[in-house]
Amino acid sequence: MKTIIAEKPSVAKEIARIIGADKRKDGYIEGNGYAVTWAYGHLIQLAMPDSYGVRGFAKECLPIIPETFTLLPRQVKTDSGYKADVTVTKQIKTIAHLFNDSERIIVATDAGREGELIFRYLYQHLDCHTPFDRLWISSHTDKAIRDGLDNICDGHKYDNLYFAAKARSEADWLVGINATQAISIAAARGTYSLGRVQTPTLAMICKRYYDNEQFTPETYWQLHFIIERDGGNGRKTKAEHSVRFTSAERWTDKTVADETFNKVSASGKAIITDVERKESREEAPLLYDLTALQKEANRRYGFTAEQTLGIAQELYEKKLITYPRTGSRYIPEDVYEGIPKLLSFLKEFPNRSNNVPAPRELTRRGVDDSKVTDHHALLVTGVKPLFLSSRNQTVYDMIAYRMAETFSPDCVRDITTVTADCEGTLFRTRGNRLKQAGWRRITGNDDSETGGQADRDVLLPDWQKGDVLTFPAVSITEGKTKAKPLHTEATLLAAMENCGKETEDETLRTAMKDCGIGTPATRAAIIETLFTRGYVTRQKKLLVPTEKGLALYSVVKSKLIADVRMTGEWEKELARIERGELSADTFRTHIEQYTSDITSELLSCGSLFTQRTTDCACPKCGKGMMQFYGKVVRCDNADCGLPVFRQKAGRMFSDDEIKDLLTSGRTKLLKGFKSKQGKSFDAVVVFDSEFNTQFEFPEKGKKTGGKQRKI
């Protein structure tokens, strides 16, 4: 008898049906010489510190670095502590019995790092020695499973994948356990959770929050004039709209802007100095990997990363799409051979039939064997998507449309840029004419990760260099520079993928992916952990750090544990282990040293959780000095004790903002306050005569003297 072990019961049932096993037993299905059983995700986990004799949080026990890790059945948390999960224990006994009675094991857990670890931890915990093979598939269609069973290989072919998975698991334990205990001991109150990937991710959210809050907008002015449809010189034109020219320069000095406005207005005409016409070819976007799918689903539909992953997993288990936890946006040559058939399949459905490319039009965009990792990019499978929920249908359509887009021809436009000079000031306008819609005809809109416009032409007159344009009036507009907005899950996923570096260049993004933090399969869980820990909240699509998250960030932001690039390097090293280029023992040595370093560094952070003496005198009594605590700043004069709380109306004040208030009695105009109705507002915070804090709302055009409201 052979035993096949799947990751979930639903997958086991599909495999059992295909191989002809139809006798239901307790914890497995038997028949035709096979027993098909299943896990419930991770049945086995790394033991907690008390298994190594370390109970509670004790400074003298840190760092905790087991010589050999102990594996235990998954536990559940109860009121009296952690206890074995009865369902898990029972299933492990069933699996142990089947493994020991089998001549061979076929591993059918998900074909990836975590799927490999699920089996290997179980195999190691049971001290099993039955030989095992690997079923490696990217789809759950009947054909894919049959082909996979016809091509199973020795399980040890994937040893390097296991070594990488094991190294990741142990590294997360070492860093997470020791960092959490060290920072909690330093704080001397409460428990703070830190992690190898979790903490750098929190740091990126908090840094963006502070950058946004502390950004000072800069006012600028630009000039514009409009040329009517006759071209401004009596020449008839095919332009469908009036043409708006905008000054190439933006002025930050209002006096200069006004002087330029007066000169241009007095002239009333401009001379065309340059007409540049060129063809622009826009390649189709690449196929989705999981992260790209999560980013766009969040941007377009507001789905969280976890929701998108869950939907994709459901579609996979319904055999509708290929393996979702992929980090590749390419497919290999042999898969490309089936693309024409899949595109023909899309034409069978009315809402997906429009403009699907014909076989003769197909491009090879996204086909590259060298860029395919464990799994190729996301594709639909050819199984009809029937009776899907609206959300599942939405994600399915995204994958289907993207497949059609990727293999469609380029989008081609004629781009015209016209430059005109008026009294030494240059003005520009831009037009475009769509020559070939290409991949943009698939959906007929511009709502994709590449932006752009699908079908709207902006035609310009047939202007030539030297033409004189006349205009009746000039306008001047005032604008302000804007801070980078708070992270959404889409932008955070991109930052995690690119190790905090932001780039729009697809080639550069791909090159940087090996240095990202987390993996496509784990990033959603990391983000959800930040919500669970109470470090971050959602405000519509925006990710906003809580007081607790900001307080923790203020302590660890300059520490090794929050270094996003270093964490990215660890991910790169794990990928090298997977490829057989680095020993797992070498990685373990590095992680152990890193663990010792961060433990020592975090244990020394105690002073950051207690009061900090500053040079700020108490504005009320003039005798004491203001002491900075985590949630309050307080005068150390016992007869005074003036408190200034760090949080007001849902907003946390930075040290610099508190210092402004203490030294001058007022802050700058601050953004990000929330009313009781949940509406955002900006205000200056000031002291009243009793040194209570109040909001002041400056009137437009005035810097001070606005209305006040006590808070």
Catalytic positions, please?
Answer: 323
Nearest-angstrom CA–CA distance, 150 and 547 = 56
Nearest to 167 by CA among 580, 497, 606: 580
Contact status, residue 398 vs residue 294, Cβ threshold 8 Å: no
Sign of CA dihedral 261, 262, 266, 270: negative
Matching residue, tokens 């005409």: 269
3-state SS track over 604-637:
CCHHHHCCEEEEEECCCCCCCEEEECCCEEEECC
- Cα–Cα distances (Å) from 291 to 320, 427, 502, 519, 654, in that order, read 19, 41, 15, 9, 33
Count of helix runs (H) and strand runs (E) in the chain: 20, 30
Contact status, residue 386 vs residue 424, Cβ threshold 8 Å: no
Matching residue, tokens 């001549």: 103
Buried b (16+ CB within 10 A) or exposed e, 438-476: bbbbbbeeeebbbeeebeeebbbbebeeebebebeebeb
SS3 516: coil
- Cα–Cα distances (Å) from 72 to 10, 76, 200, in that order, read 25, 12, 29
Neighbouring residues of 262: CB distance < 8 A, sequence distance ≥ 6 = none
Beta strands in 142-197 (DSSP E): 153-154
Q: Which two tokens stand for residue 306?
A: 């976890």
Contact status, residue 486 vs residue 543, Cβ threshold 8 Å: yes
- State the Cα torsion 307-309-314-316 to the nearest 10°: 160
Contact status, residue 423 vs residue 363, Cβ threshold 8 Å: no
Written as one string, the DSSP assignment of 387-434 is: S--HHHHHHHHHHHHHHHHHTSPPEEEEEEEEEEEETTEEEEEEEEEE
Nearest to 462 by CA among 523, 416, 401: 416
Contact status, residue 4 vs residue 15, Cβ threshold 8 Å: yes
SS3 547: helix
Q: How many CA atoms lie within 13 A of 687 on its CB side?
A: 19
The total of other beta-carbon atoms located within 10 Å of residue 659's CB is 18
Task: Provide φ and ψ at 231, rounded to 5°.
Answer: 85, -5
DSSP structural state of residue 241: S
Query: Dmax over Cα atoms in the chain, in whole Å?
Result: 96
Peptide linkage before 63 cis (omega within 30 of 0): yes
Q: Which two tokens stand for residue 684?
A: 């200056």
Nearest-angstrom CA–CA distance, 183 and 62 = 11
